[in-house]
């Protein structure tokens, strides 16, 4: 089960935020933020990374202004962090999550 939302920017692009189950055995959640041309393209970017069961239904948890700023300033336009409610947790590029899932057994939709 994932929760998320999106925000359309003045230039027409969108920022999509999704809260997904963590791929690590410890559980928890991962907050993914994606900047793309449209919502479909943002979800395609995640699915191309192996997250096949990612859907955006509704706009219950849209990205915060801080999340939008963080993803717009990242060159990949795709960031994540494990503790969405903890402001001390820094944003990570998607490469770091993919590296983690390679060293641990893959579970869930990752």
Question: Per-domain residue ranges for the chain?
Answer: 3-103
Q: pTM to 2 decimals?
A: 0.80
**Alpha helix (H) ranges present in the chain?**
39-48, 65-72, 94-103
Report pLDDT digits (tens) over 60-77.
Answer: 899 999 999 999 999 889
> Which is nearest to 91 in space by CA: 35, 13, 11, 8?
35
| pLDDT at 95 exceeding the cut of 80 | no
> 29 or 69: whose pLDDT is higher?
69
Q: Alpha helix (H) ranges present in 12-57?
A: 39-48
Between 13 and 100, where is the model more confident?
A: 13
- Which has the closest alpha carbon to 109: 6, 18, 22, 16? 22
């Amino acid at each position: 089960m994932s929760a998320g939302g999106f925000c359309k920017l003045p230039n027409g692009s969108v920022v999509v935020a999704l809260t997904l189950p963590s791929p690590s055995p410890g559980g928890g959640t991962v907050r993914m933020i994606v900047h793309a041309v449209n919502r479909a393209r943002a979800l395609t970017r995640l699915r191309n990374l192996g997250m096949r069961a990612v859907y955006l239904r509704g706009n219950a948890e849209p990205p915060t202004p801080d999340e939008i700023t963080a993803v717009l300033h990242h060159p990949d336009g795709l960031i994540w962090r494990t503790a969405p409610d903890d402001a001390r947790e820094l944003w990570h590029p998607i490469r770091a999550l993919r590296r983690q899932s390679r060293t641990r057994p893959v579970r869930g939709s990752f």
